[in-house]
Chain A
Amino acid sequence: MHPSFCFMVRISPATVVFKDRGVNVKGYIFKRVGFMIVTLFVIVTATFFLMQLIPGTPFTNPEKLTEKQLVILNAKYGLDQPVAIQYLKYIGNLLQGDLGYSFQYEGRTVFSMIGDRIGPSAFIGLQALIFGSIIGLLLGIFSALKHNSVYDYLSVTIAVLGMSIPSFVFAALLQYYVGVKLEWLPVALWEGYSSTILPSFALSVTVIATVARFIRSEMLEVLGQDYVTTARAKGLSEWTVIVKHVTRNALIPVVTMLGPLAVSIMTGTLVIEKIFSVPGLGEQFTLSILVLDYSVIMGITLFYSGLFILVVFLVDILYGLLDPRIDYKGAEQS
């Protein structure tokens, strides 16, 4: 089954959760799923027509194709038909779950190309996400608690550096010092677990920086809230106040941010995958646009956006669970 569809099927547990919270939630989810399908449809349509505006052909060896060959090839692949007809055909195939064949890798289905490559991207992304979130959270919380101290400035500096230095710089440095000089870990390639460490680490830098900055400002905001003062006034220990009242509440908005971040990081990144020779999806997507591999561009766009929409949806649901102040009734009315 296609990766993006397998997510769709598993939505059902979430629906079950909300059953006891009343009809409103059920209706809300129903409506959201409807919107998701419409959004996806709009994305597919827009990409399809925009893609046609890029000059060039998806055929290989364009430098040497003669006009006559081009006409014959276009006819063979149905590219000589009006764009509207091509579009309807594509949608027709899509509804049957057929994403077509790649132009560059002749004979390979877009399905298998995404399937083959998403694994390494997701694995590295997940590792980077878990590691980056933990370090980022610790750094951010610590920094907020020691607000305006040397530690705070230090961790803010780390976060700013992490955000502003491009990840390929870290990647190249890690590769050279840890891989070539120290020979602790493989320089590149995809040969067992040890080769996933450096790319994950290089990728986690952005996660650390993003999470740390976010949690720090959330913590600072929560620390100023009345209920924190109340908790302290009740005579609760500082530890209880921080863990139970401050951190828990500060974590809620992090969920919103982490979802989309997870999608973008787990679907692959061009630079990291190229530097560490990871057979991932990010590099493939960029390449397919450059060589105008129509079916692959469509397939990967569909996959990315499907995943993204789904995660945003899940995050919204989670948000309601975590923060009782959010009311689905209001959401439905608006």
Chain B
Amino acid sequence: MKNKKWLGFIFLTIFALVLSGCNFNSPDTDKGSEKEKEGTKEGDTAATVEQVLKLSASAEIPTMDSTKAHDGVAFNVLNNTNEGLYRQDENNESILALAEKHDVSEDEVVHTFTLRDTKWSNGDPVTAADFEYAWKRVMREAGAYNYMLATAGIKNAEAIMNEEMDADELGIKATGDLTLEVTLESPNPLFVTLLAFPTFLPQNQEFVEGLGDQYALEAENVLANGPFKLVSWTHEQGWVLEKNEDYWDADNVKLDKVEVIVVKEPSTGANLYETGKIDRTLLTSALVQQYADNEDFQIEKESDIIFLRFNHNHPILGNPEIRRAINMAIDRDGLTDIILQDGSTPLYGLVAGGYYFSPDQKDYREINGDINKGSIEEAKTLWENTLAEIGEKEVTVSINIADSEAHKKVAEYLQAQLEDNLPGFKLEIKAVPFAQRLEIEKAITYDISLSSWGPDYSDPMTYLDMWVTGGSANRMDYDNPKLNNLVSQAYSETDLSKRFEMLLEIEKILLVEDAAIAPLYQTGSAILKRGNIKDLVKHPSGAEFSYKWAYIEE
């Protein structure tokens, strides 16, 4: 009988340990009381409607350290709680933000910025030294986006990245409390566009170093100098931003609060939307059918592109006319409207549509139009003729895809389309884990690879310069000296109209001349969004949203 007593004791010990000894966090209960407090504070901006925006995020914030941040979730919070020299406006153009004035030397190499007199959320002034410190820190820490400084053409960035120089030799210098001098390698038309990217944000050296390895891991361990402040951050669950009254442009910030919760499952997001817990949610194709008639249903264009890489060393796929025939044989409308149904739109070009405009405000995609779009008959004729020239009757190739549900659906569709429309064509699907798909692509040991690309900055160049010979994103041994030349010319062309012409031409070389890849579709998102949310700006690259101008309509 005495055994029994011990039995109970052991069980109790286990349970007690699970509950107490092992870090059980009691659910966040002060959230509710916080909400009530906010409710009473209302009234100064809106008479009837609470200026509170409730959003969801697909994942936890990996880090709030702008020098190490690498994903959309972190960029989003950084973009809205901090401010750099420039920020993206409603049209995704870079506009002066923390910098009041931007002077350029005659040779367009030395850029001098005059900062506004502003404060960090701990009361310290934001100085030019904060920029110098942060940018050098990006290089020193080899942050995930350190190549952005090289893309921006900042002096010595490339050499520092390759460890040929020290981070202190970066071409940035605080010449006064509020004057910052940035030196470029050579004139760079992209420089200003890139400055809106979160990697270029300032950091308060004393604060960062005071916290050491605890910096940016909790809400109280970060500083704000932007439109909002991060006031709470419950790991894996969500975070709350509140309006930063000390922000220089606070008068134009209408929201009082943005609450973000982590929701990883789209169907859960839809259910939370229905119960009013969130004001905007993303729908997967299964949910699209269910909500297509809902008055809050919307499709938003996105800027990622999905395309096929061809192995240019392949005896048959190496032929541009073969690639063109494949391009023409795929019905993209069927792919996006029947198979995917997730807001994606057909793409007949390299640069995504709807986001990139010429100096006279014409859409890049519309100017270059649909490339390699043809009827099935045309595709068939071209295919058969080219095949006859090569002297082949049948072609069997494999397609390298990541083993995600969406990619499998796309690959199966391609298989059906190509085998039906191109006589003698056989496509084998090889699904591998995402990381392996990338390895195979980098080693160029595939025939065809289903790839994706997301822009790093708001300029067509982010899609175009990946195809230069030997470029790390080329991954298909594509080699056209004409394209290489034009890309390097466009890098330094500061006449924006001439430059835009060059950008248009680069796409033509890649697709009209060489049919080097087969673009499939541009991503989009089907969403539910409350009708009274206005001016919530969505960007194609960097941070997804700017909350600065958003408001809730009464």
Contacts and interface: CB of A to CB of B under 8 A. Distances in A.
Contact of B62 (A60, A183, A193): A60
Nearest to B25: A119
The A interface is mostly helix, strand or loop, or mixed, namely helix
B338 interface: no
B77 to A, nearest CB: 14
Contacts of B238: 189
A115 B23 contact: yes
Interface stretch (A62-70, A210-218, A228-236): A62-70
Contacts of A325: none
Nearest to B275: A187
A161 interface: no
A275 B144 CA distance: 31
A320 to B, nearest CB: 9
Interface residues of A, number: 68
Nearest to A318: B7
B217 A54 contact: no
Interface in A167-186: 172, 175-176, 179-180, 183
A69 B158 CA distance: 11
Contacts of A191: 27-29, 31-32
A56 B262 contact: no
Interface string B232-260: 00111110000000000000000000000
Interface in B182-235: 213-217, 234-235
Interface in B36-70: 60, 62-63, 65, 68, 70
Given A56-B435, A275-B265, A290-B434, A6 B22 contact: yes
A64 B10 contact: no
Contact of A190 (B28, B433, B438, B453): B28
A66 B466 CA distance: 11
Interface stretch (B11-19, B121-129, B505-513): B11-19
Interface stretch (B98-106, B266-274, B493-501): B266-274
B217 A108 contact: yes
Given A191-B27, A321-B7, A126 B272 contact: no
Interface string B142-161: 10111100000000000001
Contacts of A274: 264-265, 268
A179 B275 contact: yes
Interface string A283-298: 1000000101000000
Contact of A104 (B62, B65, B264): B62
Contacts of B62: 60, 104-106
B21 interface: yes
The 6 closest A-B pairs by CB, nearest first: A56-B435, A279-B236, A119-B24, A66-B472, A3-B22, A115-B23
27 contacts: A6-B21, A56-B436, A56-B438, A59-B144, A63-B454, A64-B456, A65-B472, A115-B23, A116-B236, A117-B236, A118-B23, A126-B18, A175-B271, A179-B271, A180-B275, A187-B268, A187-B275, A188-B263, A189-B238, A189-B272, A190-B27, A191-B28, A192-B28, A195-B27, A274-B265, A279-B234, A321-B7
